[in-house]
Copies of this chain bind each other. A is one copy, B any other.
Amino acid sequence: MVGMRGAYGGGGGAYNDSKSRPHGGGMAAAPVTEQEIAAMAVHKVAPPPAQSTASKMKARVKETFFPDDPFRAFKGQPLGTQWLMAVRYLFPILDWVPSYSFSLFKSDLVAGLTIASLAIPQASSIFSMHLSMLCMGISYAKLASLPPIIGLYSSFVPPMVYAVLGSSRDLAVGPVSIASLIMGSMLRQAVSPTAEPLLFLQLAFTSTFFAGLVQASLGILRLGFVIDFLSKATLVGFMAGAAIIVALQQLKALLGIVHFTTEMGIVPVMASVFHHTNEWSWQTILMGVCFLVFLLSARHVSIRWPKLFWVSACAPLASVIISTLLVYLFKAQNHGISIIGQLKCGLNHPSWDKLLFDTTYLGLTMKTGLVTGIISLTEGIAVGRTFASIRGYQVDGNKEMMAIGLMNVVGSCTSCYVTTGAFSRSAVNHNAGCKTAMSNVIMALTVMVTLLFLMPLFVYTPNVVLGAIIIAAVIGLIDLPAVYHIWKMDKMDFLVCVCAFAGVIFISVQEGLAIAVGISIFRVLMQITRPKMMVQGNIKGTDIYRDLHHYKEAQRVSGFLILAIEAPINFANCNYLNERIKRWIEEESFEQDKHTELHFIILDLSAVPAIDTSGIAFLIDIKKSIEKRGLELVLVNPTGEVMEKIQRANEAQNYFRPDCLYLTTAEAVASLSALAKMTKP
């Protein structure tokens, strides 16, 4: 066993046990006194301040679920104020509505009218943008195999709900392509939308209800971090794959095929396309290609000259108007071009009686709700964060989740399907200069007018144009520069990205996503299972110790092996660490043999934030096996939690005496080499 030393041994432990300490073979034998050694290592490793388990748990729970400390402002306020603040927290609309007096409205009206007269072109462009989005809504509903009118309904109620509950000023909500795609493909597996349209609709509303419930619960339970597991790389790959799947689905409309596969994969879709060449309609193809070229050119113009953002924003509406006119004038519906057909006028019908909690479909709707809920939430939160960071305000993720969730729950009762904040809409909103959530209200009013009066105008709108609009929209989701950036930065992230992409295209949308999330998590687990360890050396003339491999000026300290572990030590890696450290020692013994013997193993625990029962068992085991080899193990700078567990292990048996704990590597090296000199025979 190792002897006690003056510096740490509680004072007064003489070096009577010097035989057991390995001797400094190759070192100069200058006499060193106890006092000098004590001076070399004056900084004790302190135990962390005592804290009860309950208070530690409380701190950890707070850090996990309330990292943003949302009730900070509440502290020290009288009870009445606290209530008022809580209501305001839940309804951000109250931040600006109560101070909205009659005189304010008068001046707003005057100002508004003045500006309006100057800005009629801009206002009309915003209006036409909103109408363009309506066309997108119709298109997305078709993507989810739902009646087009549901897409319009979904652009009416949810924006109004969000205006009351949401805290982002730029987010424009409505149906989005990915969530529509996933909902359609998951529900189609069980029910055919053509054979049982009513049941399909009921399942869609029920899934929307569950999606809202999942989103709101994540917010209320403060589990917002769940969506953090969808990394940027996963999303880039997933979006690109989904965009291709969505675009391929539009081949049905674009080629005028009647009998199309219901599957989503690239293989069955292409097979279906080339099996039905006899159904291809040249009129449809011609129209589709023309409008697709028009839409893509408009998109290109807006990317090239950002000020002309309204060109691409208005293009969908223009396409719809022009194509509808063309069909109407040439009676093209009789020449193989399929049209939307009659849509009923009128606002959303209540649909709570359509929610279906039948056990036959409960599993399906819950699963669909979970997947679409999380995906659409991820999109909504990411869009909100992006614009908040551009404008320099904060968005509370958990609050947003509650807002989006409630919006979908209300939506499911008013004939809407899953909606969320869409990137393209919000970008238009932002570029058009919106200032408050009021823009969502205006958008809802536009939709209301459409629903009440303009529905007959859509009768002759050809489906092929909706297909072209979707393709032009989803092409923006394929973000090649981001893929290149990921490739350059991190090859593993690139792998995740490619897996998500390939999984979505070749297997299925959900499984592709699951594979990518699985790989991301597996990668994180691997970082724990195979933690980084480095051999450190001294940078000459300083007290600094750094990675030998990284810093060429760092030099081995003869007689010492200095290892730094960079991960929590736990069940998943203690076997690895054990074997790896033994291998380092073997290699190091071999390396150092030529010059001098190895005596001390220094384990730098600065970067070990936590340790568990298996980890402590590992430390004890490695200490024993190192001592069996006649070497000595010392630990440097254990952090609070690690120090606490070491103390508790010491209660059973004094494994880690104070004399094997040092605050810095430099002090450990100084003190140990002095000691080795002293105990030299």
Chain A contact residues, CB within 8 Å of chain B = 43, 46, 48-49, 53, 57, 63-64, 67-69, 225, 228-234, 385, 389, 392, 394, 397, 485-486, 488-493, 520-521, 524-532, 534, 539, 542-544, 546-547, 549-552, 566-568, 570-576, 579-580, 582-583, 606-607, 609-610, 612-614, 616-617, 621, 625, 628, 637, 639-641, 643, 645, 648-649, 652, 663-664
Contact in complex: A530, B64 (CB < 8 Å): yes
- Chain B residue with the shortest CB-CB distance to A566: B609
Contact in complex: A579, B67 (CB < 8 Å): yes
- In whole angstroms, how far apart are the Cα atoms of A64 and B579 in the complex? 13
Given contacts A544-B664, A572-B228, A576-B67, is CB(A567)–CB(B609) below 8 Å?
yes
- In whole angstroms, how far apart are the Cα atoms of A361 and B605 in the complex? 51
Given contacts A580-B67, A639-B550, is CB(A527)–CB(B610) below 8 Å?
yes
- In whole angstroms, how far apart are the Cα atoms of A582 and B524 in the complex? 25
Set of chain B residues within 8 Å of A571, measured between Cβ atoms: 228-234, 520
Contact in complex: B490, A43 (CB < 8 Å): no
- In whole angstroms, how far apart are the Cα atoms of A639 and B488 in the complex? 19
**Extra contacts besides A228-B574, A231-B570, A524-B528 (18): CB < 8 Å:** A48-B550, A67-B580, A68-B583, A69-B583, A228-B572, A228-B575, A228-B576, A229-B571, A232-B571, A233-B614, A488-B648, A490-B613, A528-B528, A543-B543, A546-B637, A550-B639, A606-B607, A607-B607
- In whole angstroms, how far apart are the Cα atoms of A610 and B610 in the complex? 17
- In whole angstroms, how far apart are the Cα atoms of A650 and B267 in the complex? 41
Contact in complex: B575, A527 (CB < 8 Å): no
Q: Pick from A57, A233, A568, A649 the residue with the most CB of B within 10 Å.
A: A568
Given contacts A532-B609, A609-B527, is CB(A551)–CB(B490) below 8 Å?
no
**A642 → chain B closest CB, angstroms:** 11
- In whole angstroms, how far apart are the Cα atoms of A649 and B486 in the complex? 11
- Chain B residue with the shortest CB-CB distance to A638: B550
Contact in complex: B610, A49 (CB < 8 Å): no
- Chain B residue with the shortest CB-CB distance to A529: B225
Contact in complex: A53, B225 (CB < 8 Å): no
- Which of B230, B527, B529, B639 sits near A566, CB closer than 8 Å? B639
Q: Pick from A392, A566, A612 the residue with the most CB of B within 10 Å.
A: A612
Could you show 15 A-B contacts with beta carbons less than 8 Å apart?
Answer: A46-B552, A49-B549, A68-B583, A228-B529, A230-B571, A231-B570, A232-B571, A233-B571, A490-B612, A520-B571, A521-B525, A524-B572, A531-B609, A532-B609, A534-B639
- In whole angstroms, how far apart are the Cα atoms of A613 and B549 in the complex? 24
- Chain B residue with the shortest CB-CB distance to A611: B490
- Chain B residue with the shortest CB-CB distance to A494: B613
Set of chain B residues within 8 Å of A525, measured between Cβ atoms: 521, 524-525
Contact in complex: B616, A392 (CB < 8 Å): no
List the 6 closest A-B pairs by CB distance, nearest first: A231-B571, A607-B607, A566-B609, A532-B609, A550-B640, A489-B613
- Chain B residue with the shortest CB-CB distance to A641: B532
Contact in complex: A491, B57 (CB < 8 Å): yes
Contact in complex: B489, A649 (CB < 8 Å): yes
- In whole angstroms, how far apart are the Cα atoms of A113 and B551 in the complex? 64
Set of chain B residues within 8 Å of A385, measured between Cβ atoms: 575
Contact in complex: A63, B231 (CB < 8 Å): no
- In whole angstroms, how far apart are the Cα atoms of A229 and B576 in the complex? 12
**A551 → chain B closest CB, angstroms:** 6
- Counting every copy of the chain, the complex holds 2
**A540 → chain B closest CB, angstroms:** 11
- Chain B residue with the shortest CB-CB distance to A664: B544
Set of chain B residues within 8 Å of A64, measured between Cβ atoms: 526, 530
**A258 → chain B closest CB, angstroms:** 37
Set of chain B residues within 8 Å of A579, measured between Cβ atoms: 67-68
Contact in complex: A645, B490 (CB < 8 Å): yes
- In whole angstroms, how far apart are the Cα atoms of A505 and B526 in the complex? 31
- In whole angstroms, how far apart are the Cα atoms of A96 and B570 in the complex? 37
Contact in complex: A486, B606 (CB < 8 Å): no
- In whole angstroms, how far apart are the Cα atoms of A525 and B524 in the complex? 8
Set of chain B residues within 8 Å of A485, measured between Cβ atoms: 613, 652
Set of chain B residues within 8 Å of A521, measured between Cβ atoms: 525
Set of chain B residues within 8 Å of A531, measured between Cβ atoms: 609
Set of chain B residues within 8 Å of A43, measured between Cβ atoms: 539, 542, 544
Contact in complex: B489, A46 (CB < 8 Å): no
**A226 → chain B closest CB, angstroms:** 10
Given contacts A527-B568, A639-B550, is CB(A231)–CB(B614) below 8 Å?
yes
Contact in complex: A392, B628 (CB < 8 Å): yes
- In whole angstroms, how far apart are the Cα atoms of A68 and B587 in the complex? 12
Set of chain B residues within 8 Å of A488, measured between Cβ atoms: 648
- In whole angstroms, how far apart are the Cα atoms of A225 and B525 in the complex? 11
Contact in complex: A231, B612 (CB < 8 Å): yes
Set of chain B residues within 8 Å of A549, measured between Cβ atoms: 48-49, 640
**A533 → chain B closest CB, angstroms:** 9
- In whole angstroms, how far apart are the Cα atoms of A228 and B547 in the complex? 28
Set of chain B residues within 8 Å of A57, measured between Cβ atoms: 491
Set of chain B residues within 8 Å of A392, measured between Cβ atoms: 625, 628
- Chain B residue with the shortest CB-CB distance to A579: B68
Set of chain B residues within 8 Å of A546, measured between Cβ atoms: 637, 663
- In whole angstroms, how far apart are the Cα atoms of A551 and B552 in the complex? 33
- Which of B225, B542, B617 sits near A576, CB closer than 8 Å? B225
Set of chain B residues within 8 Å of A567, measured between Cβ atoms: 609
Set of chain B residues within 8 Å of A231, measured between Cβ atoms: 570-572, 612-614
- In whole angstroms, how far apart are the Cα atoms of A532 and B60 in the complex? 10
Q: Pick from A233, A566, A571, A637 the residue with the most CB of B within 10 Å.
A: A571
Set of chain B residues within 8 Å of A607, measured between Cβ atoms: 566, 606-607, 609
- In whole angstroms, how far apart are the Cα atoms of A317 and B43 in the complex? 62
Contact in complex: A486, B539 (CB < 8 Å): no
- Chain B residue with the shortest CB-CB distance to A614: B232
- In whole angstroms, how far apart are the Cα atoms of A234 and B614 in the complex? 11
**A500 → chain B closest CB, angstroms:** 13
- In whole angstroms, how far apart are the Cα atoms of A641 and B233 in the complex? 18
Set of chain B residues within 8 Å of A493, measured between Cβ atoms: 612-613
Contact in complex: A46, B566 (CB < 8 Å): no
- In whole angstroms, how far apart are the Cα atoms of A234 and B232 in the complex? 33
Set of chain B residues within 8 Å of A46, measured between Cβ atoms: 550-552
- In whole angstroms, how far apart are the Cα atoms of A659 and B664 in the complex? 26
